[in-house]
Each structure stands twice: as C-alpha cells, then as structure tokens.
Amino acid sequence: MHEPDEHLLRLFELLVEDGTEEQLAEVVATAHSHEPCREHSGLVERAGELALRLRRTLEERRRHESELAALFDTAGDLARVRDPDAVLGAIVHRARTLLGTHVAYLSLNDEDAGTTYMRVTDGCVSELFQRVRLGMGEGLGGLVAQTALPYSTGSYFADTRFTHTTAIDEAVRDERLVAILGVPLTVGGSVIGVLYAAERTGREFSHDEVTLLASLADHAAIAIDNAGLLQETRNALEELHTAHETIREHNVAMRRAERAHDRLTDLVLRGGTVDDIAEAVAGVLGGGIVVHDAEGAELSCAKTDPLPWPRSAVHRSGNSGRAVPRGANLVCAALAGPELLGSLTLVGCGELTDADRRLFERAGVVTALVLLIRRRTAEAEQRVRGDLVTELLSAPSRARVGLADRARRVGVEPTGDKVVLVASADVADRERLVAAASRYAEQRAGLAGVHLDHLVVLLPGAEAGDKAQELARGLGCSTSRRVTVGAAGPVDGLEDVARGYEEARRCLDALITLGRTGAGAALADLGFIGVLLGDRGDLDGYVERTLGAVLDYDSRRGTELLRTLRAYFDCGRSPNRTARELHVHVNTVGQRLERISAILGADWQSPERSLEIQLALRLHRLRTGN
C-alpha cells in the first residue's frame, strides 16, 4: 500500500472512532512532512478538509438529534406529568444542558404586583439572584416581555439596549453572569414570562441556540397553560361537586321538611294536642321542645327539662315573625295574625340549617293553629256549660227534661252530692274570671257559667267551705285579683242547684259586707250570721260547732265547764260573782276558765267569739231545757 493510502485510511479510522479535529489535522501535518510528492500531500490535505467537514456535519446532526430528543422528552413530560413545577424544572435543566450554559432560569409575570419573579432556576448559587423581582420593562427580561422577541447579550453590563436598575444589576453581579439569552413565554399572544440561558463568561449565542431555547420556552408556556387549564378544571369539578352536594343536601332537607310537614298536618287533622306537636318537632329536629302559652304558663315539655318563659325573646320573635336565638336555644312565637297564642323553645340543637330553621318556624304556625283550635273548642264547650248552668238556675222544673243527659255529654255526673259556689264577677275582669273558672271546673268534672252577674260554679263533693276556699285561691292566682267565693251545699244532684245558688249568693253578700274580700266560705263558716241567713236554720249544727268540744269534755270527765261558762257570762264575766253563784272557790273558777281557754282557744272571750258562744249557750238551753 502506498503511503498516501495509509494517511487516507487513518483519516477514515479517526472519523469512525469519532476522533477530534486536532487528531485529523495531525494526520494532514504528518503527510506533509513525510510525502516528498507534492501531489500526494495535496491529496491528503484535501481529504483532511473533507474529513473535518464530515465530522462537523455529523456533530451538527448529533446535536440536532439530541435537541429533538430533548424536545420529545419535554413533550412526553407535558403528557405524563401533572405537576407543573416538575415540568418547568425539567425544561430549565434541559435548556442549561443543551446550550451548555452555566445557568438557566425561568421567570413569570405577577400581573397583580406588576413585577416579574423567578419561578425556576438551575445552576444558580446566589440567593439574592433567586429572590430578585423585576419591574415590568426592566432588565433584559423586561425588553423581551415588551417586544415578545428573543434578545441576547454577550456582555450584560456593557449593553445599553435595555433598562438597568440597581437591584437587577446587583443580583446579576452576585451571580457573576456576563452573557444572557432570553426568549419569551407566550400564551394566547400575551407574554407570561421569560426563559433564560446565561454564562459567567462572554459568549455569543447562535441562531440555532436561540431557536432551541425558544422551542423549550414554547413547551414551558404549554406546561403553564395546561396547569392553568387543569386548575380551572379542578376548580370547576370542585364547584360542580359542591353544587351537587348542595343540591343533594337541599333535596334531603326538602324531603325531610315535606315529611315533617305532612306529619304535623296529619296531627292537626287528627285532632293532635300540643304534646303531640312538641314530641313530633323534637323528634324531627333532634332537640328538646318546651311550649308555653301567651301568658308564660308551660303547656308541654318534650325531651328536655322545663324552662322559664323567655318573655323578651318571644316578643322579639312576635315582632319579626321569625325564630330568634336566646343563648344556646331558639325561640319562635306562635301567632294568629298579630295575636300571640304561645311560643316554642328549641333546646340543645346547635346551629340549625336554613331548612331546619324554616321547619321550626313552620312548627310555630302549626302550634298556633292547634292552640287556636283548642281555644275555640274550649270557648264552645264553655258556652255549652254556661248555658247548662243558666238553665239549671232559671228554667222551671218542667223545662229541665234532658239536662241530665246534656250534663253527661260534657263530663258531669248529674247524681250525687254537689257544692254550689258563687264568686264575685267584676265587669272589668269578668272575661278572665269566667275563663279561669271554666278551666277550673272542667278539670274537676264540674260546671261554670254566669247567672245574673254572678259567676256560678257547680262541683261534685260535700265540703262546701273547703271548696270555696280552694276556688278563691285558684281564681286569685289565675287572675292576679282578690276573688271572693260564697258556697252552699251539699245539694243532691242537679234538682236542688237553684236553692243552693240562693244560699251561696247570700253567703257571698255576707262575706263582702263583713269585709272578707278574697276569702271563700259557706254559711256554716260564718257563725251565728250564717244561722241567721240560712233558710233552714241548722241550730243544732251551730251549737255543735260552737260548744261541741266543751260538751264532749264534760261528758267524758264529768266536769261542769258548760255550767261554769254560762254562769260566767250571766255574772258579767266576774270570777268572784261566778264563784258565789256556783258555790265554789274563786280559784276553782279560774282553773275552769283556763281549761275552757285550752278547749275553745285563747280568743274565746273576744267580742265576736263571745257573742257566738253566748248565742250557742242560749240555743242549747232552749233545746235541752237546762
């Protein structure tokens, strides 16, 4: 083989082995030094030039292949990775690797603040540089953002095409950057940021490098746009989920409210009571319910302990027409138009949803309806009972046929002992007094009504005086007024009610005349006045009530207390004269008087008691003859 062939063969070997340009140049130099033939050396030199061109072409293609591979990898990242920071980090790192620069970084615009900030850096060592913010239009990046065109500089500090600021220059100087290339990140025609490649030494960036960085910037813009779209999609899905949950909760609340409404309506139609309403509402809302009437009296309590009437909260609810809070509870007025009929208090239910609050307010409406129905029913029954009382007192005997059956229909037994009570009925307070008396009588299987401006109450039983006192106390508490009650009885059944009414009315007049307003009594409780006013004159009963204890004592002990008592009054209450009248020592009279005081009470010598005792002594003598 000739020597030129050997040199040519060596050039091919170096191309295959990816030899350097220096190695190729060395083969040409060796051929010049060893080839005496100028023609041969020129051939080797020409082959060397072609080998260098071929090597450069191969390097250029490999570089293009590497760039394309990097772009394909970036596109794959965009397709696979959902984390935009990871994609942007990979793009910046590839930019630094492909361009072979010391540093690569990416900045994004903050439209609200009017600045540009560093989003991702690769190869940076300066903390000041990584934290720097650029104003819009400042620095090389500001020029790129304004023109939407790539810009590069081989010497940053000597370049006057862009605006230098102290903060930016200090950051660039701290990172020791000299050459910088920046390309815009564009989405929808708007620049959203800048991708940079930078060197710490002077360098001129080629057109291919600018194109490569611009391609990577396009990928970065797509990643940022995709991230925005993805976030918008997530937000839309979250809003859709929230709307779905809201609709679902609303549907649940609507179905729950519908069931509750149907249940409350059914209770009203079936004649349900306030207790039924309270139990139903407590069950639906999961709390306790306390129901009060318009004056604060408790009507029902379900699944909680009794509570005081929340007066101020009830009035606030009545004025607003809505449920109002009172501490941890909720209060709703039960209204019929402007009239307050009662109130509901919801206990231990926490914060209510709007649907539950409306349900509670609807329960207030239903409660008002039940209370109104109950009041109308009570008023109707009261009229029936009042009419029955009026007919018992005013209708002639022949017209009273059927009254017994009517009494049974309103829950009153027509037979057996009855007590007739008559109460003062002042015109100003009559309505409240009659209503309270009607409730009182109904609770005790009796009747109440108005006759000749008197409130008349008919109750089963025999103890007229005790029942008069109870009625006076009960009506007084209900009306907050002093109510006076006269009583008569017992009378047998309904036939003798008219006579009992006359006696009870005389007793009432006597109580008022004696100044005992607010008291309750029967004629028997008025002493001799009762005897005088009574139409049958129960003399034996009067003597027994007044002197019975003394008579019993004499009978058991064989003493003469009654004889001593009569002599004591006959002798003008003088112990000495009494002793002479009885032929005993004055001390004996004193001892007997002390015994009488123990039996009759210390006030037996008061003017009123002494008058009653003297009258009883005279009646006893008339009855017994001694």
pLDDT at residue 243 tops 60:
yes
pLDDT given for residue 172 in this prediction: 93
Is the predicted pLDDT of residue 131 greater than 80, yes or no? yes
Greatest mean pLDDT among 210-224, 378-392, 455-469: 455-469
Asked if 414 contacts 408 with a C-beta cutoff of 8 angstroms, the reply is: yes
| Amino acid code (one letter) for 115 | T
Instruction: Pick the more confident residue, 213 or 393.
Output: 213
pLDDT at 593: 87
Task: Looking at mean pLDDT, say which of 120-124, 146-150, 482-486 comes out highest.
Answer: 120-124
Q: What size, in residues, is the chain?
A: 626
Nearest to 330 by CA among 345, 318, 319: 345
Please name which of 451, 453, 423, 419 lies closest in space to residue 437, comparing C-alpha atoms.
423
- Which segment, 61-65, 136-140, 370-374, is predicted with the most confidence on average? 136-140
Query: pLDDT tier at 123 (50, 70, 90 boundaries)?
Result: very high
| Rounded-to-5 percentages of helix, strand, coil across the chain | 60, 15, 25
- Which of 152-166, 277-291, 374-388 is predicted least confidently? 374-388
- The whole-number pLDDT of residue 1 equals 38
Cα–Cα distance for residue pair 503/283, rounded to 1 Å: 54
Question: Does an H or E element contain 504, and which?
Answer: helix 497-513
> C-alpha distances in angstroms, 530 versus 3, 488, 512, 514, 568?
168, 11, 14, 12, 26
Interacting residues of 145 by C-beta distance below 8 A, sequence separation 6+: 109, 116, 136, 137, 184, 191, 193, 194
- Using the predicted structure, report yes or no on whether residue 510 has a pLDDT greater than 90: no
Q: Are 116 and 110 in contact (CB under 8 A)?
A: yes
- The mean pLDDT of the chain is 78
pLDDT at 79: 47
Which range is least confidently modeled, 119-123, 125-129, 349-353? 349-353
Token code pair at residue 340: 């307050």
Task: Return the beta strands (E) in 467-584 as ranges.
Answer: 485-492, 520-522
Average pLDDT over residues 284-302: 84
Q: Are 145 and 116 in contact (CB under 8 A)?
A: yes
pLDDT mean over 590-595: 88
Enter the tokens of residue 607. Answer: 């003017």
Q: Mean per-residue pLDDT for 90-111?
A: 87
How far apart are the C-alpha atoms of 561 and 551, rounded to whole Å? 8
Whole-number percent of the chain with pLDDT over 90:
9
pLDDT range class, residue 428, cuts 50, 70, 90: very low
If you average pLDDT over each of 98-107, 394-403, 502-511, 545-554, which comes out highest?
A: 98-107
Nearest Cα residue to 421 out of 381, 472, 482 = 472
| Mean pLDDT, residues 26-46 | 63
Contact status, residue 434 vs residue 450, Cβ threshold 8 Å: yes
Q: Reduced to 3 states, what is the DSSP secondary structure of residue 198?
A: strand
For residue 439 the two structure tokens come to 């409730």
Alpha carbon distance 473, 451 (integer Å) = 22
- In this predicted structure, the answer to whether residue 196 has a pLDDT above a threshold of 90 is yes
Contact criterion met (CB below 8 Å) for 86 and 52: no
What is the residue whose two structure tokens read 């009239």? 339
HSE, CB side, 13 Å, CA atoms: give it for residue 614: 14
Task: Give the C-alpha separation, 315 to 297, whole Å.
Answer: 15
Contact 117, 133 (CB under 8 A): yes
Higher pLDDT, 489 or 16: 489
Contact 100, 203 (CB under 8 A): no
Instruction: Give the CB-side neighbour count of residue 363, counting CA atoms within 13 A.
Output: 34
pLDDT at 137 over 90: no
Q: What is the DSSP string of 135-166?
A: ETT-HHHHHHHHHTS-EEESSGGG--SS---H
Q: Which amino acid is at 420?
A: V
d(CA 254, CA 464): 59
What stretches of 493-552 adopt beta strand conformation (E)? 520-522
